[in-house]
Amino acid sequence: MRVVDDGVDLRGMESNDSGRLRLEHDGDHWCLVGEGADQLGLVDEYLSHLGDRNYSPKTLRAYGFDLVVFGRWLLGEGLDLEDVTTPVLLRFLAACRAAWLPGRPGPNVVDLRGRRLDGYAATTINRRLVAVSGLFAFRAMRDPTLPNPVPKGREAHRVTPGGRTGLLAHLVRRPRPRSALRLREPTRLPRPLNVEEATRLLGSLRTWRDRAIAGLMLYCGLRSCEVLALDIADVDIGRGWLRVWGKGARERAVPLDGDVAQAIQAYLFLERPESDSTRVFLVSKGPHRGQPLTAAGLRTIFRYHRGLTGVTAGHPHALRHSFGTALAEAGVDLAVMQTLLGHAHVDTTARYIHLAPKRVKEEFDAARARIRRQV
């Protein structure tokens, strides 16, 4: 049985109190233990419900931590779930915005836009609201007579120009109403690596395993979790294709770059330790040799090479962003980009269109030339 505690409350203070409300995983499902867990039994049922609906383990863990924070706040306020109303949720969100994180600059330090640098991001607070909203929606599903304290706002924009309509309209995800309590989130564009940074980072990799992993993200656009989930049967080196399992257990076929295929082949023949595991990438050294490489192990590898090369932006996902940016700059069709990157919605893929400075500069120069000819 594994006990997990995020160690941070709404005031940012750490606590080693073993009786404190915390999240626990017994190998099958997540549940709350500690002080006040009996009052929050609905949370355990909700997390089990999400598990039955095939939600990913990472989503369950994130929602569990968010509900632990919500439960601790309710206990501190002397409230039960039955006492939660819309004003109570507003107070909870205000407490989240006022919270500070240890190890961050003080509240008097702000960024160029005037935002504090010691608190939670708007995305984190909105995710907590999503977890709480799902909890009360689950309660309303079980007992329709109980009110849902989370107000609904306008429907989220999911229909894009050129989307499926008519007989194919059922293939489009229906718009979902978003809560009016959501915070505005800043729109951030993916930050790719430039050619010099990517060359330095890949040049520091010494093993065939690490080169193959980086190549799959940089030249094939795979997510780090997709790379770690690759089985040997998913790699068809002869035909040059990969079978990739993405988010939501969605399967897609991705072309395999020739150089990356050679790196994978060299790793399988020269470096991969003997193991009963079907995963492609395994731990090479230490007591866990032969076991599947974990996300923590992958982060350790990239953290070491970031320090070695000085490429501070050399995170695994930055390589995937570089792949998407290269596709946009090459003028690849948006639908093809969506298929290669495994995005569920074309809106996510469209972010990379704004990251094609070469194409923007060419269009700008052409427009300026036309204007000058007309003047």
Catalytic residue status for 317: yes
3-state secondary structure the chain: CEEECCCCCCCCCCCCCCCCCEEEECCCCEEEECCCHHHHHHHHHHHHHHHHCCCCHHHHHHHHHHHHHHHHHHHHHCCCHHHCCHHHHHHHHHHHHHCCCCCCCCCCCECCCCCECCCCCHHHHHHHHHHHHHHHHHHHHHCCCCCCCCCEEEECCCCCCCCCCHHHHHHCCCCCEEECCCCCCCCCCCCCCCHHHHHHHHHCCCCHHHHHHHHHHHHCCCCHHHHHCCEHHHEECCCCEEEEECHHHCEEEEECCHHHHHHHHHHHHHHCCCCCCCECCECCCCCCCCCECCHHHHHHHHHHHHHHHCCCCCCHHHHHHHHHHHHHHCCCCHHHHHHHHCCCCHHHHHHHHHHCHHHHHHHHHHHHHHHHHHC
Residue 348 backbone phi and psi in degrees, to 5: -65, -40
Catalytic residue status for 46: no
Q: Residues 260, 309: contact at Cβ < 8 Å?
A: no
Q: Residues 258, 246: contact at Cβ < 8 Å?
A: no
Q: Catalytic pick from 223, 272, 315, 321?
A: 223
Given the structure tokens 């295929």, which residue do they identify? 261
Catalytic residue status for 343: yes
Catalytic residue status for 288: no
Q: Catalytic pick from 72, 128, 211, 320?
A: 320
Q: Catalytic pick from 303, 317, 354, 361?
A: 317
CA dihedral 189, 213, 334, 349 (to 10 degrees): -30
Catalytic residue status for 315: no
Question: CA angle, corner 332, sides to 329 and 334, nearest 5?
Answer: 110
Given the structure tokens 């790196």, which residue do they identify? 263
Q: Catalytic pick from 247, 252, 279, 306?
A: 247
Question: Catalytic residues, which ones?
Answer: 223, 247, 317, 320, 343, 352
